[in-house]
């Protein structure tokens, strides 16, 4: 974790019999942040009957780019990199096809947008002129060099 990153830890308990078609949606408002990483602990017990995903404004963030679920048994998933800016919280979406309630344990690493490093502006070249020595783009004027005569060359 960097100095700017924050850590949110929370649990989601999904009641027994929560169908995939009507999942439990738990909202988490972190403010205007970049969601950096997600870690989820599945304790022993779900036996592949509990699934989770994280969604923001209708877009699934985790697992990335799919409409599938994370399903596990006695396993910690992550930390998985996310790197997405969010401005109105995320929804942790779970289902539980078992006959017992199950709790999943989450850690979300995030950085407030106000602390996200911003690339410096690109410098724009500027023509520099001096009132005593104007810049000339052409060949040097004829005549002696203001630097004096050239040094003597090697003897031949």
User: Within a domain: residue 46?
Assistant: yes
User: Within a domain: residue 90?
Assistant: yes
pLDDT at 148 over 80: no
110 burial class (0-12, 13-18, 19+ CB within 10 angstroms)? buried
What digits encode the pLDDT tens for the residues 28-75? Answer: 999 899 999 999 999 999 999 999 999 998 889 999 877 799 999 999
Residue 53, pLDDT score = 96
Alpha carbon distance 81, 53 (integer Å): 14
C-alpha angle with apex 22: 17 to 28, nearest 5 degrees?
100
User: Within a domain: residue 92?
Assistant: yes
- Residue 30 structural domain: 6-115
CATH number at residue 26: 2.60.120
Domains identified in the chain, total number = 1
User: Within a domain: residue 146?
Assistant: no
Query: With a threshold of 0.75, does the pTM exceed it?
Result: no
Across the range 101-127, mean pLDDT stands at 77
User: Within a domain: residue 156?
Assistant: no
User: How many Cβ atoms sit within 10 Å of the Cβ of residue 102?
Assistant: 21
Alpha carbon distance 156, 151 (integer Å): 15
Pairing mode, strands 75-86 and 33-42: antiparallel
């Amino acid at each position: 974790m960097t100095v700017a990153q924050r850590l949110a830890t929370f649990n989601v308990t999904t009641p027994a019999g929560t169908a995939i078609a009507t999942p439990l949606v738990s909202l988490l408002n972190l403010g205007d942040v970049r969601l950096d990483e997600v870690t989820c602990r599945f304790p022993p017990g779900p036996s592949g009957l509990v699934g989770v995903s994280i969604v923001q404004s209708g877009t699934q963030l985790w697992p990335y780019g799919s409409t599938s679920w994370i399903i596990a048994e006695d396993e910690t998933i992550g930390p998985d990199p996310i790197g997405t800016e969010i401005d109105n919280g995320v929804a942790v979406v779970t289902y539980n096809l078992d006959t017992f309630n199950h709790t999943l344990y989450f850690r979300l690493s995030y950085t407030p947008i106000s602390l996200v490093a911003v690339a410096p502006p690109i410098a724009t070249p500027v023509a520099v002129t001096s009132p005593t020595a104007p810049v000339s783009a052409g060949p040097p004027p004829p005549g002696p060099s203001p630097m004096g005569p050239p040094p003597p060359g090697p003897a031949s």
